[in-house]
Amino acid sequence: MSDLELNCPLPLQYEQIVMAHGGGGRLMQQLLDSIIQPVFNNPILNQKHDSAVVNINGSKIALTTDSYVVKPLFFPGGDIGKLAVCGTLNDLAMSGAKPLYLTCSLIIEEGFPIAELKRIVESMQQTAAQAGVLIVTGDTKVVDNGKGDGVFINTAGIGIITDNVDVKPGNIQVGDSIILNSDLARHGIAVMLEREGLKFEHHIESDCANLSGIVQELIQAGVEIHCMRDLTRGGLASGLIELATTSRHHIEVTESALPIHQDVNSACEILGFDPLYIANEGAFVLFVPESQTAQCLAILRRHPLGEQAIQIGQVKSTHAQGMVTLQTAMGISRVLDLLSGEQLPRIC
């Protein structure tokens, strides 16, 4: 070994889409920034918000769309139908909009049981009714056996934003408190344990929930919300990194404040996952002026989806613009960075 061989291959550039391009990490960001965004390039798209906000005849309308490809279709705490409604409602809610109407587009694989399809659309209707929105149009396509994964659902939604509400990444200000409504990483772990048939003794259910109600309560109480983001694919870390990058601010998060259910933590430990990068479907962060922190927390905590609400960090005025740092319990600060793609289970 005295004669060192320095051995490594040339880097790979993917010519095809790999799964990591959809993982909510750096590869997905590269795909959006290099292939999608330059082609569709326009000022509304470039706001990089969960919903597009457009002005039609003096009304501020929020518009969004999302596709749902979850496997398994039914999981503890929800199913693809509930997810497809909540996900799009939440994207509207995050722009401060009150959701009004949804669309539903189904891509169904040949051979899929009609009874299961019925369960899924009934779940969609139930979730929409509870949220007070209507599913008003849709589309159905069937693809060959083996060319789909049971059912894929696309939903789009519109909502209306009242005049005095202006919620977007560009409004984040130095000194803002960062508030989280609930514990982290339950959806991703619940779905993965179910999909992989991992038999832990656990009681982990997806946090899949419609956030538009709790958001409307904050808005009606007059809380001055600068920005919101639901923490879906890529989890808390990826959501905050996107906001820090877009707003060019330094976001500092306090590790010891982050609520994570013990069973979720255990599963993450066993699989080698970082819960900060695991998907949520009912967790969101809010940026509010420091002076409104207490009021905002009080309102959140009165709502079932905000009982665990807590301040997790603050926007800092430092040179570290566009970054998220974590104050660890050990008393050091480290950078939270986008992962390449989805987390892969570690060997040991």
Does 331 bind another protein (CB under 8 A)? Our answer is yes
Does 198 bind another protein (CB under 8 A)? Our answer is yes
Does 147 bind another protein (CB under 8 A)? Our answer is no
Query: Residue 284 is inside which H or E element, if any?
Result: strand 284-288
Strand order in the sheet with 177-180: 227-230, 284-288, 177-180, 310-316, 250-254, 324-327, 333-336
Does 45 bind another protein (CB under 8 A)? Our answer is no
Cβ–Cβ under 8 Å, residues 232 and 207? no
Query: Residue 109 is inside which H or E element, if any?
Result: strand 98-109
Does 54 bind another protein (CB under 8 A)? Our answer is no
Does 146 bind another protein (CB under 8 A)? Our answer is no
Does 7 bind another protein (CB under 8 A)? Our answer is yes
List the one residue out of 232, 234, 238, 228 whose CA is nearest residue 206: 232
Tokens of 91: 């994207």
Amino acid at 125: Q
CA distance 342 to 319: 30
Does 337 bind another protein (CB under 8 A)? Our answer is yes
Tokens of 4: 């060192």
Does 196 bind another protein (CB under 8 A)? Our answer is yes
- Please count the residues of this chain forming the interface with another protein, following the rule CB under 8 A: 50
Cβ–Cβ under 8 Å, residues 315 and 178? yes
Instruction: Using the rule CB under 8 A, give the single segment among 14-22, 83-91, 167-175, 295-303 that binds another protein.
Output: 14-22
Q: Which is nearer to another protein, 30 or 67 (CB)?
A: 30
Does 320 bind another protein (CB under 8 A)? Our answer is yes
CB of 329 to another protein, least distance (A): 5
By CB under 8 A, name the binding residues for another protein. Answer: 1-14, 16-20, 26-27, 30, 196, 198, 262, 265-266, 269, 271-272, 319-320, 323, 325, 328-335, 337, 339-340, 344-348
